Structure 1
Amino acid sequence: MGWLDGMLGNASTADKKEVGKELGSILINDEEIDVAFKLVRDLIVFTDKRLILVDKQGLTGKKIEYHSVPYKSISHFSIETAGHFDLDAELKIWVSSSSEPTIYKQFRKDKSIYDVQKVLAAVCM
């Protein structure tokens, strides 16, 4: 998975050092990044303490929303793989007792969604 996958909407593994520099102002002192996935301009970051979703907004990406979710708050999650006619795979995460998914991410192909799901399963057990 590389640059082209990222442009097409597929999650690619991001370099932990680069992500650490980018998130330096919001990480707490002893927090470490376990794995990060880049989805076009956005990031899905798993640390040893929480899930961080980075949503770069606008044309330049200067406006950034950081969505932080403690693992203990994730009640359940689901993935929906792509089909023959529906080419998008979907990740949905429910936080606490919400009846609707709080977090929703779309992937163009479903191969990388399995990697994200495996990490979620590991941290939520």
Structure 2
Amino acid sequence: MGLLDGLLGNASESDAQELQQELTRLLATDERIEKAFVIIRDQLIFTNKRLILVDKQGMTGKKKEFLSVPYRSIERFAMETTGHFDLDAELKIWVRGQTEPISKTFRNDRNIYDISKALADYAL
């Protein structure tokens, strides 16, 4: 169901061990991936040191942008759940030095609670 969730815009949890191998060149020597979520093609990766946001670009998704946010730079975050007529959930993360928050949209709020909890665990 993970692939179907991803195509529909729902967040699904990824295998941290598999990503650890895939991102070895990007991670610091003693850094390890602890939680990871996929939203359509993008990823939110929680390591023991930082939050990594992966934005896959282009038709094939081969080109990727990696945004590294140290947990100490996260000033606040907000979660908006779905309603009766508004079926999109939204997560906003304010980073020190930026005026606009990083914003991610979900098709439902099934996993947004898990992502918000992970943010609370690591950023607070």
Please state how far the C-alpha of 1:99 moved relative to its aligned partner: 3.8
Identity among equivalent pairs (%): 60
Moved more, 28-37 or 16-25: 16-25
| Pair 1:117-2:123 in alignment | no
User: Unaligned 5+ residue runs, structure 1?
Assistant: none
Moved over 6 A (4+): none
Please state how far the C-alpha of 1:109 moved relative to its aligned partner: 0.3
Cross-structure match for 1:73: 73
Q: What TM-score does the superposition give when structure 2 sets the normalisation length?
A: 0.95
The amino acid of 1:110's aligned partner reads: D
Q: What is the root-mean-square deviation of aligned Cα atoms in Å?
A: 1.1
Please state how far the C-alpha of 1:100 moved relative to its aligned partner: 2.6
Give runs of aligned pairs for residues 86-101 of structure 1, distance below 5 A: 86-101=86-101
The amino acid of 1:10's aligned partner reads: N
Q: What TM-score does the superposition give when structure 1 sets the normalisation length?
A: 0.94
User: Unaligned 5+ residue runs, structure 2?
Assistant: none
Cross-structure match for 2:49: 49
Please state how far the C-alpha of 1:57 moved relative to its aligned partner: 0.3
Q: Does the residue aligned with 1:120 lie in a helix, a strand or coil?
A: helix
Q: Does the residue aligned with 2:103 lie in a helix, a strand or coil?
A: strand
Q: Does the residue aligned with 1:3 lie in a helix, a strand or coil?
A: helix
d(CA) in 2 for partners of 1:12, 1:116: 10
d(CA) in 2 for partners of 1:98, 1:28: 25
The amino acid of 2:112's aligned partner reads: I
Please state how far the C-alpha of 1:117 moved relative to its aligned partner: 0.2
Cross-structure match for 1:30: 30
d(CA) in 2 for partners of 1:97, 1:66: 18
